[in-house]
Amino acid sequence: MKPEKIDVVVFEEYDEIARHVAARIAELVRSRADAGKNVVLGLATGSTPIGVYRELIRMHREEGLSFRNVVTFNLDEYFPMDPESIHSYHRFMRENLFDQIDMPDSNVHLPRGDIPRSDLEAHTAAYEQAIRDAGGIDFQILGIGKTGHVGFNEPGSGRDSRTRAIHLDTITRKDAAADFFGEENVPVEAVTMGVATIMEAREIALIATGEHKAAIVRRAVEGDISPDVAATYLQEHPNTTFYVDAAAAQELTRVKAPWLIREVEWNDDLTLRAVVWLAKKSGHAILRLSAADYHEHHLASLLAQQQSVDVLNLSTFARLEARVRDNPRLPMEQPVIVFSPHPDDDVISMGGMLRKLNENRNDLTVAYMTSGNIAVFDYEVRRYLDFIQRFEHDVLGDTVRELDDLVCRIEAALASKSPGEVDIREVQDMKRHIREAEAVSGVEALGISRQACRFLNLPFYQTGKVRKNEIGPDDVRIVLELLEEVEPEVIFVAGDLSDPHGTHRQCKQAIDRALEQYGGSRPEVWLYRGAWQEWAVHEADVFVPLTREDLRRKIFAIFKHQSQKDRAPFPGGHDEREFWQRVDARNRATAEELDRLGLPEFHAAEAFVVR
């Protein structure tokens, strides 16, 4: 029996979700316009719906889709919040949708975060009345938070809750900390539509992407209804669909263990997944699994297709063992490009592999795709300014007046800046150079020449804000030119899509588009993870064992990224550990899991998927 209590549609990539949801909205807009009626949309903010909004803007510009008959109500707003603030959802909606389509301003409704507290109750009641006066919401877009909140309906929100002020959960505020450049800057309250308000929408589309949403997606659609997870209330809605990408779907039973709910056609990949799953469930190494283990855990159909349990165990073990590769079975004396979305993803995710690629005399290019400058705290800039002033005074004397002027301008800009405000160009450049110098130092710590470093500085990232532009032709061109110059046999690409603000996803998109246009021999593509999580054992095609020295050197290289140590601006998730601590734990955990499955006991290991 299918355990999902809400319809879930899985797409391979987020862009497919965005196009599908936008097409449904366009269908409603056009059909209502043809009937001379308005359509009422409930809108969300954050990274989740941006692709939908971009597709709607494209349809408006290229297909003539008009929004003159559209009325909108947004889910929420921080409180207190100036509507002109860079953090305001009012501003977000203007910049990402309203200012680029032809919807009348009078049709736009958002909760207010800039009213006196004494007026809040009247304001929220008026918001509810405005929704009723508009005829109710026809189509509601939702995201889902790690607590399972929809809108800002935090754990404890009741089924009958309406638009109201609410205190934000600690986890929600941690999620928002990157946008506000520190959890201490995140408002502790918000105004949000209630559960009952959302449930009255005639159609609901909830969008979730990334591995970090997988657990809460499963809880929302397979778990019991509970006020602790507001999204579970959607199980009672007659027309709700979850639209998720493959990463966000990976914990669903039908994906993780489909044999538990239906008959399956056993192929090599599914067999490997099932045997590894069984070994974990039973606590036995693969070669010690018995026929009773297979029968007890609903895998009798798999065993029935095999000559014997021993043949099945041996063949599966051999497949897994063949995926362990050390230097002799890794790329050797070949042109190789390692694409690093940020200036530290290379050493965090594949520092051990980088060292081995260098030992194998490959012609290495480490291509840093973005500057990563927004992830540098202002106090780091002040530290370097202090160094510059001391160096100027002691070494250069009074000969560099222009440098004095620049330092004064930067110090004044930092002093007057609000949290999250866009830096002046000089500060952005200084932060970029800080990260570039750290990247060079990082690869040198692994024994790699600084000449291997290339800084692409892709344009999509250069907004000075947390939210970035779409990948454009110039981004693709820069990547394509590097491919044409190097003509790599192998490229390494970040396959970790849990990046809090989507930079990894966008960088991969730029590489994929460039490869489509590349006229040379298509390189082998190795996908790495590591900053937020590692490939599962059944997913990985290659395991690279690391010695104690390999892991020590890798961590040493991570230490070179001083601006990201101790307190990284964008750590992601709710893992309080520094990146080097996560790497140490994850690489050791991969090796330990291989050991539990019966493979040799390595000190640590990195994992890769090969495409």
d(CA 21, CA 89): 21
DSSP letter assigned to residue 395: I
**Cβ-Cβ contacts under 8 Å for 194 (sequence gap 6 or more):** 151, 153, 157, 160, 161, 162, 163, 164
Buried b / exposed e along 395-429 (16+ C-beta atoms within 10 A): eeeeeeeeeeeebeebbebbeeeeebeebbeebbe
CA nearest to 340, candidates 65, 31, 118, 561: 561
Distance of CA 165 to the CA centre of its chain: 29
- Dihedral sign computed on CA atoms, order 50, 513, 339, 437: negative
What sign does the CA torsion over 498, 500, 506, 507 have?
Answer: negative
Q: Are 526 and 490 in contact (CB under 8 A)?
A: yes
In angstroms, rounded to a whole number, what is the distance separating the alpha carbons of residues 125 and 135?
Answer: 16
Selecting among 13, 154, 436, 593, the annotated active-site residue is 154
Contacts of residues 48-51 at CB distance under 8 Å and 24 or more positions apart, as own/partner, are: 48/143, 48/207, 48/208, 48/209, 49/141, 49/143, 49/207, 50/96, 50/467, 51/14, 51/15, 51/17, 51/18
C-alpha 75/C-alpha 166 separation (Å) is 13
Order of all β-strands in the sheet with 70-74:
7-11, 240-245, 203-208, 139-142, 39-43, 70-74, 108-109
Region class of 572: left (phi > 0), else alpha (psi between -120 and 50), else beta: left
Contacts of residue 13, defined as CB under 8 A and 6 or more positions apart, other chains included, come to 245, 246
Q: CA angle at residue 556 from 552 to 557, to 5 degrees?
A: 120
Cα atoms in the 13 Å half-sphere on the side-chain side of 58? 11
Beta bridge partners of 604: 546
* 359 belongs to the catalytic site: no
The backbone torsions φ and ψ at residue 384, rounded to the nearest 5 degrees and listed phi first, read -70, -35
Residue with tokens 């109710």: 136
CB 43 within 8 A of CB 141: yes
DSSP 324: B
Q: At 481, which amino acid appears?
A: E
CB-based contact 77:113 (threshold 8 Å): yes
Q: Which residue has the tokens 């560099």?
A: 400
* Degrees, nearest 5: CA angle 158-162-166: 75
Closest residue by Cα to residue 22 from 176, 321, 243, 225: 243
Q: Which residues are catalytic?
A: 154
